[in-house]
Structure 1
């Protein structure tokens, strides 16, 4: 009897153990036509197991053995369905076909239709590069940065400025990445265009809240831009010819299904029109930019892939015999992917980026050249580990910074004295761990911890100042010696709870720190803005953001609604003293004040995702304030980018397979500015004096843009289209700046003079692809 019982118990435990035995299904999702890895594709096994592919198309699901109905999907692609028998670790590499004949038109490439409801990630916006073609833009140039400014919580820097502000953060508090490399200045032609050539871009993700632990170094947001890999199967070419710029892109296999390349270039030719000008000054002036994107990939086998990518961009602006101004970015990224086993994925990155700026004055009396530079060397090691219903991420990162604030070289005969501000060197290091956990079918958690460290290095002479800016002491530090170190812990947490398949509640908290800062007294921002590192006087900036939101889809996920409320507290914020001199000041840290800030608001978003007519409405009600001793008697005052109301409406109408019409409208409260409170005259010269910081408001901004796209007749490999646009249809003169001057013939009276950059501007671009 005992033997029988023991045998039955042994059999029971064996069967139970077998029933619980688990295996991993993994692989890489790719585009069937090009072989490119697909980011954010949904992989679902049965009803209980679901995941999305990572930034390299890799996915993994750990499940009990059994038979599963597997579906792999991505918006705009045909869904792949098959039955999988899982009785061992299995590798499956699905290839999805582009569903070009689908009637539904999407305006954003979500991983799945209800991703906004299910995911624990808050504040994530994905930009669909195909929809980008239909959003009206200035002079017909597709622009990633201008498109994200149509989303709630993201404020435009104004006319002629691609700078953006996210949930009360300054423009330098956004981490902008291109294939993991930091882009310090993301604008061309003083902000009229962004550095991102849309033809070369594969994926754009904007994190404006609940920032994942693998990102760090900035307070407000992450804009993660990834370049196309290149077609692994066939050669392809595309480009466009517009009124002021042209672009070209080539891609194809170096070794079919094994290695590929992508090359894209863009250049403006406004300078060609200047040469035709009868004005002798304009005839010799420069006004152009170019940028080049390149990428190469090599698959050693299914477990090892090497990526090499680079960006090279340059702006040239100048007026004959007066000045020359140029700036540019260079980035290089080398990445190596390795799959250790079905559950463990590794990415190793070596990254270089360089931002440089120079201005030359050509006047004989004050002939000089001023230059500045930021250069980083970055190494990263990231891992992803998939087990059961957990997706762990962990890794380390190290960055070496070199910042050369300003160097002035005087030419022979110039009255300007040479000047060189000290170079500063620093090292940032970080380690992080995070977990995305599907606790139950209704509850998802995303939590993690980031440890960051920053050290200021020699060589250098470091001055110490008191709160009033008076010099206390000076210390000289040898090369390579650690002078000042800051350590910070940055917890990250977010959750989503689904009340039903179509509605959920989300909450998040995250802390971020920042050790590289911009000093600027310009409302619009400028390539000459000065970068500084944290130091003995400048402490790391810190932000704590809390957010809650309600998300609801309707009509089978065809309509999407969300509302998010946030509160952000900021410490160690930087402002300049009244009357401070920032440029070419060797004691610039004595001109700074340090204080706190707060930002809070509510964002409303409603979107129609499918059908002939689709689009969205976004509204933000917000407040952004700063507090410093020595400004406004220590009272809170509006930040210069504080705007109470922001509204954006976008509509896209697909009339038929050939014609697509679109419109966008924006409205925003005017930026906060400091107006003069009075004036006095000394020896015939008028001097204005100021009291309350940012106590005034610019006039409101309002603009309606229209566009239309006509697709050419299909047939063969060659395809073309025409894009027509009208920027600022209502011809509103939105303010760029406001200056004050004495009324002519009556110096006792003052008048405000508003400068506007753009009225109504038509555009036309011919696009081709083969």
Structure 2
């Protein structure tokens, strides 16, 4: 069937990189990327959907060696993301203009005081601008412009306590101008090496999220980003990781990692507010909580003519919000549900066979769980009063799964 195939489409990607070695202590690189996708879905002679989205990025990196114990990297980046979805119904256009501009400066410095310590510190600061505009039949119906500044600083020390124990304590401080938020993010990693072929690892970290993605079930091109502000605190979570890395045989590697992450103060637009015009910013959101856990298994072979790897990820993400996904006839008892981008299974296999010194062939395989879908239990007829006085069908949705 060709019902869901675009009538016309094109994809354009351009990228490049230039490296310049000024001298032994200074290297400069310039990289750029530009991509644009355009798809048209006509579903009638005078109706259709036009999706146009893409991004551009330009970055420059300066690598400087201060001495044999101090190294640094500084990166200046500018990027733009855009999507311009439009729907045409009976020659009446419904259009959206969504632009995100991000300009940032990032610096990392590494200091090696002795054989037992590797001290790293750095910063990241920038300016973020979000522009969103909706229009109907050429008339503007909604317009928003958010401009904010962000910054962070971190320090960590990779400490070789003994030949078997390595500890990496660290601290990151993150700030966001919208709402004047300042957050501490402690981190700790511990590694134990009982033998030369086994590494046991554990880690903890606190993370904050100052942006939230408002997803659209139909197409990612309609997704928009919103920020924290007064009354809308950043989401935060604690992540715990344990794992093991082994070399079962020479030239082979086997890794296993387990993780759990809590999520608090999740925020997204409240879908039960029909008219957001005139409401304070904090009142258009709903706030919830969530969690995620999973396992990652990785196996690789690096010897012989046949090399490659296989990676499998099992992950579960759940979240809940008040008065959403309630049991029927039991309002107020919210249940956890999987978000749009939850993917339980992900398997990747890559194999390369060297035919001779000049020729090789590669085979790849990927399997991933599809997007979650909740089937309606049924439908009922509702009577619209006092707006139109007409009957319409309303879906009855069961538990979100």
The yes-or-no answer on 1:359 pairing with 2:81 is: no
The yes-or-no answer on 1:485 pairing with 2:180 is: yes
Deviation at 1:600, TM superposition (A): 1.7
Q: Which residue in the other structure is 1:543 paired with? A: 237
The yes-or-no answer on 1:676 pairing with 2:346 is: no
How many Å separate the matches in 1 of 2:177 and 2:274?
Answer: 27
How many Å separate the matches in 1 of 2:74 and 2:344?
Answer: 43
How many Å separate the matches in 2 of 1:659 and 1:300?
Answer: 36
How many Å separate the matches in 2 of 1:454 and 1:333?
Answer: 23
Deviations 1:590-642 (A, max 9, x none): 44321111112233333333223334444444432213222231333333444
Q: Which residue in the other structure is 1:637 paired with? A: 337
Deviation at 1:646, TM superposition (A): 4.5
1:398 to 119, 125, 147: 125
The yes-or-no answer on 1:507 pairing with 2:207 is: no
Q: For 1:174-253, list aligned pairs within 5 A.
A: none
Q: 1:386 to 1:326 in 2, by over 3 A?
A: same
Taking structure 2 as the reference length, what is the TM-score of the superposition?
0.83
How many Å separate the matches in 1 of 2:142 and 2:343?
Answer: 38
1:309 to 7, 12, 31: 31
Q: 1:528 to 1:642 in 2, by over 3 A?
A: closer
Q: For 1:2-151, list aligned pairs within 5 A.
A: none
Q: Which residue in the other structure is 2:365 paired with? A: 664
How many Å separate the matches in 2 of 1:287 and 1:439?
Answer: 58
The answer to whether the 8 A contact 1:521-1:576 is kept is no
The answer to whether the 8 A contact 2:348-2:364 is kept is no
1:290 to 12, 20, 24: 12
The answer to whether the 8 A contact 2:188-2:203 is kept is yes
Unaligned runs of 5+ in 1: 1-189, 191-269, 275-281, 412-416, 457-483, 696-770
How many Å separate the matches in 2 of 1:634 and 1:331?
Answer: 41
Unaligned runs of 5+ in 2: 327-332, 383-389
The answer to whether the 8 A contact 2:201-2:244 is kept is yes
Q: Which residue in the other structure is 1:686 paired with? A: 393
Q: Which structure would you say has the larger Rg? A: 1
The answer to whether the 8 A contact 1:551-1:561 is kept is yes
Give the secondary structure class of the aligned counterpart of 1:634.
coil
The answer to whether the 8 A contact 1:370-1:409 is kept is no
How many Å separate the matches in 2 of 1:295 and 1:604?
Answer: 33
Deviation at 1:424, TM superposition (A): 0.8
Deviations 1:731-752 (A, max 9, x none): xxxxxxxxxxxxxxxxxxxxxx
Q: 1:305 to 1:648 in 2, by over 3 A?
A: closer
Taking structure 1 as the reference length, what is the TM-score of the superposition?
0.45
How many Å separate the matches in 1 of 2:362 and 2:30?
Answer: 38
Deviation at 1:577, TM superposition (A): 4.2
The answer to whether the 8 A contact 2:216-2:222 is kept is no
Q: Which residue in the other structure is 2:57 paired with? A: 331
Deviation at 1:504, TM superposition (A): 1.6
Give the secondary structure class of the aligned counterpart of 2:31.
strand
The answer to whether the 8 A contact 2:71-2:110 is kept is yes
How many Å separate the matches in 2 of 1:617 and 1:336?
Answer: 35
Deviation at 1:328, TM superposition (A): 1.9
Deviation at 1:676, TM superposition (A): 1.5
Deviation at 1:418, TM superposition (A): 1.6
Deviation at 1:654, TM superposition (A): 4.1
Deviation at 1:387, TM superposition (A): 2.0
Q: Which residue in the other structure is 2:329 paired with? A: none
Q: 1:382 to 1:656 in 2, by over 3 A?
A: closer
Q: Which residue in the other structure is 2:171 paired with? A: 449
Q: For 1:330-479, list aligned pairs within 5 A.
A: 330-363=56-89, 365-389=91-115, 390-408=117-135, 410-411=137-138, 417-456=139-178
How many Å separate the matches in 2 of 1:652 and 1:308?
Answer: 31
How many Å separate the matches in 1 of 2:131 and 2:397?
Answer: 32
How many Å separate the matches in 2 of 1:316 and 1:585?
Answer: 31
The structure that is helix-richer by fraction is 1
How many Å separate the matches in 1 of 2:26 and 2:290?
Answer: 46
The answer to whether the 8 A contact 2:92-2:136 is kept is no
The answer to whether the 8 A contact 1:655-1:661 is kept is no
The answer to whether the 8 A contact 1:405-1:531 is kept is no
How many Å separate the matches in 2 of 1:610 and 1:374?
Answer: 45
The answer to whether the 8 A contact 1:581-1:591 is kept is no
Deviation at 1:378, TM superposition (A): 0.9
Count of equivalent residues: 377
Deviation at 1:347, TM superposition (A): 2.4
Deviation at 1:494, TM superposition (A): 1.2
Q: 1:599 to 1:350 in 2, by over 3 A?
A: same
Deviations 1:650-680 (A, max 9, x none): 4444455545352525264x54333212211
Q: Which residue in the other structure is 1:555 paired with? A: 249
The structure, 1 or 2, with the larger RCO (C-alpha pairs under 8 Å, 6+ apart) is 1
How many Å separate the matches in 2 of 1:665 and 1:346?
Answer: 38
Deviation at 1:548, TM superposition (A): 0.8
Q: 1:428 to 1:497 in 2, by over 3 A?
A: same
Deviation at 1:420, TM superposition (A): 3.2
